[in-house]
Amino acid sequence: MTTTDDADTDRILDGITVVDLTTFVTGGFATLMLANQGAEVIKVERPGVGDDNRHSGPPFVEPNAEYDGPGRTADDNGESPYFWTINYDKLSVEFNLKTDSGLEALYDLVAEADVVVENFRPGTAERLDVGYDDLREVNEDIVYCSISAFGETGPWSSRPGYDLLVQGTSGIMSVTGPEDGDPVKVGLPQTDLITGMWAAFGVVGSLFRRELTGEGDRIEIGMHDAALPWLTKQAGKAFVGEQPERMGTKDPVLAPYQALPTADGYLNVGCGNQKLWEELCAAIDRPDLAEDDRFASNPDRVANMDELETELAAVFRERPTEEWVDLLADERGLPVGPVYDVPAALDNEQTEARDVIREIDHPALGTVPVIEHPLNYEHADAGFDGAPPLLGEDTEAILQELGYDDAALTRLREEGAIPDA
């Protein structure tokens, strides 16, 4: 994204090739992060079907009728915008790994690669002859990352898993939602994304180690394991015998630190220390709250959260959200902010100023929006250049780069290893 004028604009992972055997979000987000840092990511997809995430919707977007280039949509409904958000800047090949020649094509690809990422259920990669030991015979220096729901050991290792299930097993749902309500799933695939970030971190660490030692490695990660370190303050309570509970938007160790209703919406108010609390009371013309014994210190406020919420809600309902933001955040420098819906989060003056949302040319759709990743280096570049791929659009080009001539491509089609052109 942002660099200085005289910066070396090489991307950190330029020259790294990643073979992506994953479907859906966990592996897809991991390899997306690697693509953002300059890696060439090649998705290996099932012929005619592709990544399951291509079918996630509605909504879908119809491709341009006049497009007649390589690749195609994987769904009669069109392209899934959800798929875009996890697959910018990748290439797509269709290999049938259940054929000998399709498997051989994958081996040829891996022989030239640096990283392989897979998220099969434990044991499946080995049954498909694409496990770590199989691919080490092809490329002994490969960095191989295996992602599964519960890891490869333990009594749950053979269970299937999705984000929903892991939000449950990790305790996240038990502390999310209204205080007296049912457990609530976080409204985005949080444990998928957490796991993808851990996986990308592990891959980069293994690549660094390979630079030092010359040795490849295998990374094994379970979604359940990946989510647990994110419990932080809730885990801290559990470690001393307390039971973390659902608190709505309130926080277990800070107050006020929550969303409060305004005249036209909601305002997040976060006072991380005593000075900010006292300044907030003065700014809203309620100095009496700072002097109230119930709210004198942060432990007092945490112990009396409900009473504090009642007092503050009565004040903040007097004005609309933006007036409070202008008064408290912009004029007084206090930590308050609006609660936006998703369209507003994607389209506001701050998002625009940081150039987070851009458009990328797409061969079959004209342009598609892209959410940039947040890393801004002083002496390197980052960001997405390419659109999410159509299914299989790079199959022939990549095979030709690997040395397959027209006769070899014809043989692969005849043997069902790749689709007909």
* Section 232-249 average pLDDT: 94
Q: Please give the pLDDT value at position 68.
A: 75
Q: Which of 20, 51, 89, 192 is catalytic?
A: 192
Distance from chain centroid for Cα 397: 29
Question: What DSSP state is assigned to residue 121?
Answer: P
Q: CB–CB of 375/13 below 8 Å?
A: no
User: CATH topology for 266-338?
Assistant: formyl-coa transferase, domain 3 (3.30.1540)
**Is the per-residue pLDDT at 4 higher than 50?**
no
Q: Please give the pLDDT value at position 77.
A: 77
- For the segment 270-281, what is each residue's pLDDT rounded down to a tens digit? 999 999 999 999
- For the segment 150-172, what is each residue's pLDDT rounded down to a tens digit? 999 999 999 999 999 999 999 99
User: CATH topology for 17-229+354-414?
Assistant: Rossmann fold (3.40.50)
φ/ψ of 64, rounded to 5, equals -65, 130
Sorting pLDDT into bands at 50, 70 and 90, what band is 6?
very low
CA 228, CA 135: separation in Å to the nearest integer? 31
Residue 264 is among the residues annotated as catalytic for this protein: no
Q: Please give the pLDDT value at position 71.
A: 80
* Section 261-290 average pLDDT: 97
Q: Which helix (H) or strand (E) holds 235?
A: helix 232-239
Q: Please give the pLDDT value at position 75.
A: 67
CA 235, CA 125: separation in Å to the nearest integer? 34
Q: Please give the pLDDT value at position 3.
A: 33
**Is the per-residue pLDDT at 404 higher than 80?**
yes
Q: Please give the pLDDT value at position 333.
A: 97
Q: What is the mean pLDDT of the chain?
A: 94
Which of left, alpha, beta for 354 (phi over 0: left; psi -120 to 50: alpha)? alpha
Sorting pLDDT into bands at 50, 70 and 90, what band is 78?
confident
Q: Coil, strand, or helix at residue 46?
A: coil
CA 138, CA 265: separation in Å to the nearest integer? 58
Q: Please give the pLDDT value at position 86.
A: 97
| Biggest CA-to-CA distance, the chain | 85
CA 234, CA 247: separation in Å to the nearest integer? 11
Q: Please give the pLDDT value at position 2.
A: 34
CA 291, CA 304: separation in Å to the nearest integer? 14
Q: Please give the pLDDT value at position 406.
A: 96
Position with higher pLDDT, 252 vs 29: 29
Q: Please give the pLDDT value at position 69.
A: 76
Sorting pLDDT into bands at 50, 70 and 90, what band is 66?
confident
- For the segment 325-366, what is each residue's pLDDT rounded down to a tens digit? 999 999 999 999 999 999 999 999 999 999 999 999 998 899
Place of tokens 């027209």: 406
Q: Please give the pLDDT value at position 12.
A: 96
**Is the per-residue pLDDT at 1 higher than 90?**
no
**Is the per-residue pLDDT at 195 higher than 80?**
yes
User: What is this structure's pTM?
Assistant: 0.92
- Of 47-56, 284-293, 317-326, 399-408, the least confident: 47-56
Q: What percent of the chain has pLDDT over 70?
A: 97
Name the residue ranges covered by the structural domains of the chain. Answer: 17-229+354-414, 266-338
**Is the per-residue pLDDT at 74 higher than 70?**
no
* Section 370-392 average pLDDT: 94
